[in-house]
Amino acid sequence: MTSVAIVGATGAVGSTMLSILEERDFPMSSLRLMASHRSAGRTVETRTGQVTIEDVASADPSGIDIALFSAGGDRSRAYAPKFAAAGATVIDNSSAFRMDPEVPLVVANVNDDAIKAHKGIVANPNCTTMALMMPAGPLHRLAGLESVVATSYQSVSGSGHTGMTQLAKEIDHFGANRDGLVTGDWVDPGGDLYARPIGYNVLPQAGSFTDAGYTDEEWKLVNETRKILGRPDIKVEPTCVRVPVMVGHGVAASMWFDRPVDLEEALEVLGDAPGLQLWDDAKVPTPLDSAGIDDVLVGRVRETVGTPGGISLFAVGDNLRKGAALNAVELAELLLQ
């Protein structure tokens, strides 16, 4: 039996971690829930009884076997090394350690073996990268991924509870004056979470601008893809877009390999891949279909037409589950094996 802690337990991902641990009957001897001082002292109903939330800043990490962190990069940087030094294996959902060469970056069912090299911290990839890796991993094993052009359609729950509240408010705000959406006579609802309104809109910016005109989300897609697939020369052309969707990150990707791949072999490999459901054009996969389920949905699989020999597809996954909490729990299960 394993002693487990969730850091960020009150958040969108942290609370999903708790439900997934319970759904999967993860063998826990004890469970501790941690968040900020704002939540400390509140109680949460769990399958094994009420748990009182602790302030991570003052919590004693001794005795914890596995700590699932999803409280933002600053908290991971501040507390994950302390938890690891006290003997816990930290599975960190933030971007704090993902590119650290000492820290494995693992997508369950894609590069499981990498977890064996951990030294106390394991990193959970970015939610968009995760959706792409589920089909790209098996295709990479088939023919060696050489390049990918990927455009994401990222839901607001990627920004936590704040993102979901903002979208709901803006849908109400704009819905009250639908004519304005057509004539351009709309009123900016304000708020500083995103650069532009997200209700009834599409933002060709997810994350913050960093180098060369790309956002940090886009660089994650580049760097994490290379690290997870173990090939630093994969060419990745990313565009990350925020869409007015509550849950479910989609990625439209065109991929080319060391050799031409035809539709039949791509479908065969994708059809056999664990954690992935292959949908045909009779019912294309959407974020709404992905919400609340574990599998990443893949559809629109076709051969590339402009530069032949590649495969284009659309993948969509629940960013709170496979994109974050589920993968973290799957990594915890790998640690127990």
CB 61, CB 3: distance < 8 Å = no
The contacts of residue 227 (CB under 8 Å, 6+ apart) are 98, 99, 105
Residue 32 binding ligand A2P, by CB under 6 A: no
The amino acid occupying position 172 is D
Q: Is 240 a catalytic residue?
A: no
Copy the structure tokens of residue 305: 């037409």
C-beta closer to ligand A2P: residue 88 or 222 = 88
Residue 12 binding ligand A2P, by CB under 6 A: yes
Give least dist CB 269 to ligand A2P, A: 35
Alpha carbons 188 and 98: distance in angstroms, whole number: 36
Residue 11 binding ligand A2P, by CB under 6 A: yes
Q: Which stretch binds ligand A2P (CB under 6 A): 33-41, 169-177, 178-186, 274-282?
A: 33-41
C-beta closer to ligand A2P: residue 161 or 169 = 161
Q: Ramachandran region of residue 190, left (φ > 0), alpha (ψ -120 to 50) or beta?
A: left
List 127, 140, 173, 240, catalytic entry = 127
Give the H/E segment covering residue 13: helix 12-23
Give least dist CB 112 to ligand A2P, A: 27
Q: Which of 5, 51, 66, 71 binds ligand A2P (CB under 6 A)?
A: 71
C-beta closer to ligand A2P: residue 13 or 236 = 13
Give least dist CB 68 to ligand A2P, A: 11
Residue 42 binding ligand A2P, by CB under 6 A: no
Give least dist CB 38 to ligand A2P, A: 4
Q: Which of 20, 28, 35, 88 binds ligand A2P (CB under 6 A)?
A: 35
Copy the structure tokens of residue 136: 């790209």
The amino acid occupying position 141 is R
C-beta closer to ligand A2P: residue 10 or 223 = 10
Copy the structure tokens of residue 259: 């050799």
Give least dist CB 9 to ligand A2P, A: 6
Render 15-58 in DSSP notation, one character per residue: HHHHHHHHHTT--EEEEEEEE-TTTTT-EEEETTEEEE-EETTT
Residue 30 binding ligand A2P, by CB under 6 A: no
x-marked contacts with ligand A2P along 257-286 as a string, rule CB under 6 A? ------------------------------
CB 199, CB 208: distance < 8 Å = no
Q: For 285-288, which contacts have Cβ atoms below 8 Å and span 24 or more sequence positions?
A: 285/314, 285/315, 285/316, 286/248, 286/250, 286/316, 287/153, 287/155, 287/245, 287/247, 287/248, 287/249, 287/250, 287/316, 288/245, 288/248
Alpha carbons 108 and 259: distance in angstroms, whole number: 26
Q: Which stretch binds ligand A2P (CB under 6 A): 71-79, 90-98, 178-186, 238-246?
A: 71-79
Q: Which of 46, 162, 201, 304 binds ligand A2P (CB under 6 A)?
A: 162
Number of residues lying near ligand A2P (CB under 6 A): 17
Q: Is 127 a catalytic residue?
A: yes
6 three-state secondary structure? strand
Contacts with ligand A2P in 74-103 (CB under 6 A)? 75
CB 134, CB 110: distance < 8 Å = yes
H helices present in 176-314, as ranges: 178-183, 216-229, 263-272, 287-290
Residue 161 binding ligand A2P, by CB under 6 A: yes
Residue 125 binding ligand A2P, by CB under 6 A: no
In the complex, which residues of this chain contact ligand A2P (CB under 6 A)? 8-12, 14, 35-36, 38-39, 56, 71-72, 75, 160-162
Residues acting as catalytic residues: 127, 249
